[in-house]
Structure 1
């Protein structure tokens, strides 16, 4: 795993939080909630979330421009897409672990069409993990979900410059 392309270059405790399946599952749940908690999100889109939300430059850009639409943001800041395919590939095991954790803890489920939905009894988790503030990542993930909500997975692949 190449940490430089996927996680912020920070102290070890922050990296351990960012790799925590429970923390990553909550990021995914917040994304689903922002995207469409009732109708769900295409399974493949979930693999874009962690590499984008936890990427330092993308996090900075999205935090500075919370109301900017995704397409406009990608045009103005093409660096968001920098190494995105590699970042997605590097995050695949982490995303899978987070999905397994969320399913096991009855936070998400998949319907017959392959859409991932929050289970109605899902409760937001928050606060701090090992003294590290997580709210910023959760809020960013929810906003990113809203930005992506008008796109299906094929369009997301196209916008990010990835060939499926």
Structure 2
């Protein structure tokens, strides 16, 4: 993890591993509750924060909508998505480390993630939307299809 002394206060507050981990956890958990294909594919983890931390995305997420329709209806949200995803890779890794070190998620042998039920998360709006995103991804198709919809390479 990058030293906290080398981060601005805004970055430290908004992108700290606990907060970002909470967002990831809620998406993983809802995906696993919804999916008929198995647990949350690890490759999808790098899409969650770039989607959820871009303010216009959570505003437009609807748990009843299909992910493909969401992407098609809102192309403006995905301009430069690859750059956003790349810029949040380190933050995502730190959040994963936080969740794994706290034994809140586990990396499975089949390259998927599972949650332990012990984490109680207050349901603020971003967490509700993150859960909705997890549900949308669970029914969106394969990991490759999801990456293609977003115009990025896995």
Alignment-derived partner of residue 124 in structure 1: 120
Q: 1:84 aligns with which of 59, 74, 81?
A: 81
Cα offset, 1:60, TM superposition:
1.9
Aligned to 1:34: 30
Q: Secondary structure at the match of 1:109?
A: strand
SS at match of 2:152: coil
Among candidates 126, 135, 144, match of residue 146 of structure 1:
135
Cross-structure match for 1:161: 151
Point out where structure 1 has 5 or more consecutive residues left out of the alignment: 1-11, 128-134
Q: Distance in 2 between matches of 1:106 and 1:19?
A: 20
Q: Distance in 2 between matches of 1:84 and 1:32?
A: 20
| Pairs within 5 Å for 1:99-110 | 99-110=96-107
TM-score by length of 2: 0.84
d(CA) in 2 for partners of 1:35 and 1:66? 12
What is the distance in 2 between the residues matched to 1:20 and 1:163? 26
Structure 1 residue runs of 4 or more that deviate by more than 4 Å after TM superposition? 12-15
> If the length of structure 1 is used for normalisation, what is the TM-score?
0.79
